[in-house]
């Protein structure tokens, strides 16, 4: 299932070259990913943190294809991907799209850890969602 949110480039995100600064692309992906985690996975980052469970990123890769400009209206997608190695991690395949063209694509990898320290794990509810998810091609 691909989750999609729409955004507009904020004027304060434009750099001296009159394009969106590369720093902000991952932020828009984060906004979408956090909504996906709550809406689709049913995992509230805030509520779980209060219970002592933190969902954290362990890595990400990003590829810039095109640049966004001031006032561009664009979409950000998010799709859950399972891990083929058996590690307790989840992957989020994401794209920023403008006029049906890829602007940026990325894979964010995350896991859960106890706030008090300890080994990474995935809650049972997330493991259940991963059963139907495609496996990330490494």
Between CA 86 and CA 68 the distance in angstroms is: 37
Domains in the chain, number: 1
- Render pLDDT for 18-65 as a digit per residue (tens, 0 to 9): 999 999 999 999 999 999 999 999 999 999 999 999 999 999 999 999
In this structure, is residue 47 part of a structural domain? yes
The CATH number of the domain holding residue 14 is 3.10.129.10
Tell whether 97 is covered by a domain.
yes
25 and 64 Cβ atoms separated by less than 8 Å: yes
88: domain range? Answer: 2-130
Per-residue pLDDT reduced to its tens digit, 100-135: 999 999 999 999 999 999 999 999 999 999 999 999
Confidence of residue 1 (pLDDT cuts 50, 70, 90): confident
Considering the domain boundaries, does residue 137 fall inside one? no
| Three-class DSSP labels, 54-81 | EEEEEEEEEEECCCCCCCCEEEEEEEEE
Average pLDDT score, the chain: 96
Band (138; pLDDT cuts 50, 70, 90): low
Q: Is residue 19 in a domain?
A: yes
pLDDT given for residue 31 in this prediction: 98
Q: Residue 2's pLDDT is what?
A: 87
Q: What are phi and psi of 52, to 5 degrees?
A: 95, 15
The verdict on residue 24 lying in a domain is yes
DSSP per-residue codes, 9-58 = --GGGB-TTSSB-TTHHHHHHHHHHHHHHHHTT---HHHHHHTTEEEEEE
What is the secondary structure of 68-121 as a DSSP string? --TT-EEEEEEEEEB-TT--S-EEEEEEEEETTEEEEEEEEEEEEEETT----B
28 inside domain: yes
**16 inside domain:** yes
Query: Does the pLDDT value for residue 70 go beyond 70?
Result: yes
Residue at 136 is within a domain:
no
């Amino acid at each position: 299932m691909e989750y999609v949110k729409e955004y507009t480039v904020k004027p304060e995100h434009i750099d001296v070259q009159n394009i969106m600064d590369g720093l902000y692309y991952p932020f828009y992906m984060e906004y979408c990913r956090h909504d996906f985690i709550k809406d689709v996975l049913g995992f509230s980052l805030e509520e779980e943190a209060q219970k002592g469970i933190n969902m954290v990123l362990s890595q990400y890769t990003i590829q810039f294809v095109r640049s966004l400009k001031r006032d561009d209206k664009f979409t950000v997608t998010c799709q859950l991907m399972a891990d083929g190695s058996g590690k307790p991690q989840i992957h989020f395949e994401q794209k920023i799209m403008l006029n049906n063209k890829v602007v940026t694509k990325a894979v964010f990898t995350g896991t859960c850890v106890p706030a008090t320290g300890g080994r990474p794990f995935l809650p049972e509810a997330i493991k259940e969602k991963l059963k139907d998810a495609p496996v990330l091609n490494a």
